[in-house]
Structure 1
Amino acid sequence: MESRVVALSVPDAIKVTRNGEKIGFTNHDPNGMVDQIASPLRREVFNRSTSMMKSVFNDESDLEEGKLEKDTDKLIRGGKLVKIHNQAVLSGLAYCISSCSMILVNKFVLSSYDFDAGISLMVYQNLVSVVIVSFLSFWGIISTEPVRWRLIRSWLPVNFIFVGMLITSIFSLKYINVAMVTVLKNVTNVITALGEMYLFKKHHDRRVWAALFLMIISAICGGITDLSFHAVGYAWQIINCFLTASYSLTLRRVMDTAKQATKSGSLNEFSMVLLNNMLSLPLGILLIFAFNEVDYLINTPLLRMPTFWLVVTFSGLLGLAISFTSMWFLHQTGATTYSLVGSLNKIPLSITGILLFKVPTSFQNFTSIIFGLLAGVFFAKAKMLERTQSSTTAK
């Protein structure tokens, strides 16, 4: 920002200086001097020389100003490109760090603390998000749509799936290591692609289907070679894949109805974050009683540990950070870059999860994990090419 201000102020200052010199020059009245010259020839010579000096000076100043303006435009354009590039890199790093940290912190809470109330964890994290988003909206830092009954009624189907998606993710993460969770999440892409084909009549090219096939193979091989295989955890993760795919497919249908239920006729990302987290609270509280987590919460000593509250509050902040950084990154780049970086992000996440939590693994299992993660990258690249071809055909 400072470089832009300096660049813009330079030509303005020079222009003022040049104009001052011009005014100083033209304020000298040549006619007074010419009147003192008796000869008409001398008067004509003096007038011509004066006009020539004026034109030469004007040309020099115009050339200097034109050159400076061109240089300034280059500086501004270069500054804009650097700024956009820096914003994209910064937003991408923020998104990767927040998404990786969220999964690792949740795994730490569920495994290292051995916290056995996943629904309560989800409710507390969503409560943190509601408080912060409401605070930012109250002070006008962000804009959110007012929550009305018509909007709630249209959004409830999506919210039920959203709550189920979060709970099954937490349940699976308790039993499965981080690396296998990331590989099994690729199954979501397969289910989503099939849903798009049957519900929206969308056809995918061979590269996409090849990537999806590789994902299925890697998930099967990863499960077979998983030394810490847990049937309950795998069951929760498969359910999570179906719910995650259903959420993305249902969201497309509900969005139009939800927009009509708002005052402005639109629904931004902040409103969706607030709406999802707010509506999840009463449903989550009901599920806490249904799964009998109340007795566990009363008896567990973890709720009397300040460090535990610090960690779970931090996890809630990370959950909200994912929403903000993903929107920021998506705005700075695009859907293709966003999906590609998200796929690449799983590779360091999986390796970090194996090292941090000392997951027992074999060469075969590690190879299947890397194979599955690379299949995810291949899928993102195939989708990027598919979008490019479809946009070219539409034009």
Structure 2
Amino acid sequence: GGAWWASPFVPATWLLTSRTRWQTLIGGLLLHVSWKLGWAEINSTSRSDVSTWLPASVLFVGIIYAGSRALSKLAIPVFLTLHNVAEVIICGHQKCFRKEKTSPEKICSTLFLLAAAGCLPFNDPQFDPNGYFWAVIHLFCVGAYKIVQKSRKPNALSDIEQQYLNYMFSVVLLAVASHPTGDLFSVLDFPFLYFYRFHGSCCASGLLGFFLMLSTVKLKNLVAPGQYAAWIFFAKVITAGLSVLLFDMILTNAMVGCLLLGGLGEALLVFSEQKSS
């Protein structure tokens, strides 16, 4: 008689990955309709631009799929702390390969983020190896995606065009991958498959994801990079705080210290972004 979100791992995993498919499908359809109605600007791009962006779309699929698998086993504050380690990968790439000058604040930030994520597995009372495994894949995909995004040709693809290609590619790749990953047959184990509330929640998650994407892109284009980073940091803090109140999570002093260290690292990163902008 438990709630459906307390179901075993396979149905819960399928639920999250299914919602990922719904979000990409509905997001892609809404973005296509918005384009046709003139609400979103998607220009005719060359095949070379599209083919150049395809590796980023593959990484995007890795981000959303591995992220959904990780979230099925990890608490949201833990997931966000691990997610932020992607900034360490980006900073390392800029320092080692692009020979860019790195500010002391950014170096301290990456060290704090890395230390917080490294200590978490040893201080997490709800440690789950599968969750951490998928979180590591997720953060590597995020780091690689941002590197590809920053190295693209200027004015090649707008943020909306990038997201449109991501949505279209994700729908196709996730549908093809549903059989080898086992998600196609896991649907038969889901006890609420024929409940209208389940399908309604999937549609709602797709709509909310679409509007969140649009608002994020608009905010990114309206404010300076430092202000954008500050808003994203504020949203993460609110999300982590609400998750502690809404979901069951065991907190110890050591774990809280790791989460606060990760928050301090991201705050320093925001400060360095504002200082350089």
The normalised TM-score by structure 1 is 0.64
- Does structure 2 conserve the Cα–Cα contact (< 8 Å) formed by 1:347 and 1:370? no
- Does structure 2 conserve the Cα–Cα contact (< 8 Å) formed by 1:344 and 1:373? no
* Cα shift at 1:198: 2.2
Match runs of 1:154-193 below 5 Å:
154-193=52-91
Residue type of the alignment partner of 1:349: T
Residue number among 208, 216, 236 corresponding to 1:346 in the alignment = 236
Provide the identity percentage: 18
Residue number among 237, 258, 262 corresponding to 2:135 in the alignment = 237
| 1: CA distance, partners of 2:50 / 2:227 | 33
- Does structure 2 conserve the Cα–Cα contact (< 8 Å) formed by 1:227 and 1:361? yes
**Pair member with larger Rg:** 1
* Cα shift at 1:130: 0.9
* Cα shift at 1:329: 1.6
Distance verdict in 2 for CA 1:355–1:277, change over 3 Å = same
Q: How many residues align?
A: 272
* Cα shift at 1:110: 6.2
Name the structure, 1 or 2, with higher relative contact order (CA <8 Å, separation 6+).
2
| 1: CA distance, partners of 2:224 / 2:34 | 26
Match of 2:223 in 1: 333
| 2: CA distance, partners of 1:329 / 1:109 | 35
Match runs of 1:43-62 below 5 Å:
none
| 1: CA distance, partners of 2:4 / 2:234 | 25
Name whichever structure is richer in helix by fraction: 1
| 2: CA distance, partners of 1:110 / 1:176 | 14
Q: Does 2:220 match 1:321? A: no
- Does structure 2 conserve the Cα–Cα contact (< 8 Å) formed by 1:111 and 1:174? no
Q: Does 2:157 match 1:267? A: yes
Match runs of 1:145-294 below 5 Å:
145-146=43-44, 149-255=47-153, 266-294=156-184
Match runs of 1:71-86 below 5 Å:
none
Distance verdict in 2 for CA 1:142–1:223, change over 3 Å = same
Q: Does 2:12 match 1:115? A: yes
The C-alpha deviation readout for 1:312-362, integer Å capped at 9, x for no partner, is 212112221222111222233211011122123222221211221121111
Match of 1:366 in 2: 256
| 1: CA distance, partners of 2:100 / 2:6 | 41
* Cα shift at 1:164: 0.8
**What are the ranges of 5 or more consecutive residues in structure 2 without an aligned counterpart?**
none
Residue type of the alignment partner of 1:115: A
Could you say what secondary structure the match of 1:353 adopts?
Answer: helix
- Does structure 2 conserve the Cα–Cα contact (< 8 Å) formed by 1:168 and 1:236? yes
Distance verdict in 2 for CA 1:215–1:116, change over 3 Å = closer
Distance verdict in 2 for CA 1:305–1:192, change over 3 Å = same
